Amino acid sequence: MPLALYALTAGAFGIGVTEFVIMGLLLEVSADLGVSISAAGLLISGYALGVVVGAPLLGAIAGRWSKKALLMSLMVVFTVGNLACALAPDYWTLMAARVLTAFAHASFFGVGSVVATGLVPANRKASAIAVMFTGLTVANILGVPFGTWLGQAYGWRSTFWAVTLVGLVALAVIALLVPKDEKADAAEEASEGVLAVLARPAVLLGLLAAVFSWIGVFAAFTYIAPILTRIGGFSEAAVSPILLVFGGGLLFGNLLGGRLADRRLVPTVLGTLAVLSAVILALSLAIHNQIAAVVAIGLFGAAAIATVAPLQMWVLEKAAGAGQALASSFNIAAFNLGNATGAWLGGFVIDHGGGLEAVMPVAGIVPLAALAIVFAAERAERRGKRSALAAACPEAAE
């Protein structure tokens, strides 16, 4: 893989740390700013909202800028946002800074996916996306635990100072390594229009599949700690090591999903969604045996992330043309919408649908909706191609 791809990985690492590290610093933030823990938790929701809003705001200009210039601008937004977090004098300033930082999230991964696929041969495109997303998985395995320790030892602001430094490094390596490119051709934009890509049924179905796939993931993962301790019988001290197993699964599944998608994209999309559903359902049974539960947690991480690169590549193929970067950004926002909805669904099931025991079975069923969506979209596309062939050449269709 070219060095430029690892520049994108560096940016993905910094963004991943920023998104998730706040979860380990809620007590420190709430105590320092004088707000409740639940109010501090809304900083996570605020970030997710920023991702969803930032996708259309920044994605719409993707076609007017060169991709390298846009990536560098997004890293500037990311770095300034984290600097503002480190300096925030009160809760609402911190919230605004988190939302600002999140604006860069969807567009960076969206445009970065397009850049990554342009750096490699056609048979390595999904693997290139997976390598970029490795930054996100390493952020969960190493960056978030280190950032949590740093914030607990030296104050939560020190974590955001550190991530600001990561942003500066990522900006420098992107400037140095990512090749220059030209902005989209005006005639190409005028022929369809960047926003018109979102009217394509296949693209919209791809976004919907991304939402449903990660509703299932986060319905289960959001409540994994109480599931492990209250149902699995693990001690609280065992949760962090078990989550490292989950992180190892993320790293393995991410690269495997990209490799398989390069060979056969559609079967990989369908297969990873089916496996994700099966693994979550199996976890609901394995949780009662501690050895089996740890193995299942690792498989859960692998199955969850293995869906991302194939689904991202699938949407990129359906959005071929001037609107690729915008569709790719929206797909990242769709994953984050799934995160937020999944956390809500898990809580709803706990409160109204049978408690913690019912979370895993419900979470395991949801990815089947994504599977059905992709299957229906592919079947409709094949039917449309046959109809077009029949109309153009009746003898060949026969």
Q: pLDDT averaged over the chain?
A: 82
Whether 44 and 121 share a structural domain: yes
Q: What angle do CA 337, 279, 220 make, to 5 degrees?
A: 40
Residue 174 and residue 310 in one domain: no
- Per-residue pLDDT of 123-136, as tens digits, reads 787 788 788 888 87
Residues 131 and 204 in one domain: no
Q: How far apart are CA 250 and CA 255, in angstroms?
A: 9
pLDDT recorded at residue 191? 40
| Full domain range(s) for residue 23 | 1-183
**pTM, whole model, 2 decimals?**
0.77
The number of folded domains in the chain is 2
Coil, strand, or helix at residue 232? coil
Contacts for 257 with CB less than 8 Å, ≥ 6 apart: 126, 130, 268, 272, 305, 306, 307, 308, 309, 310
pLDDT computed for residue 186 by the predictor: 46
119 and 237 both lie in a single domain = no
CATH assignment at residue 250: 1.20.1250.20
Among 342, 381, 336, 347, residue whose Cα is nearest residue 364: 342
Residues 167 and 106 in one domain: yes
pLDDT at 388: 62
Q: Work out the number of other CB atoms within 10 angstroms of the CB of residue 122.
A: 7
CA 46 and chain centroid, separation? 16
DSSP 8-state symbol, 228: I
Q: 178 and 139 in one domain?
A: yes
- 155 with 213, same domain: the answer is no
pLDDT per residue over 54-102, tens digit each? 766 665 665 567 778 888 888 898 899 999 999 999 999 999 999 888 8
Q: How far from 330 is each of 57, 60, 106, 238, 311, CA to CA, in Å?
A: 10, 10, 7, 37, 12
Low-confidence stretches of the chain (pLDDT beneath 70):
1, 38, 55-64, 181-196, 321-323, 384-398
Give 356-366 pLDDT, tens digit per residue.
889 999 999 99
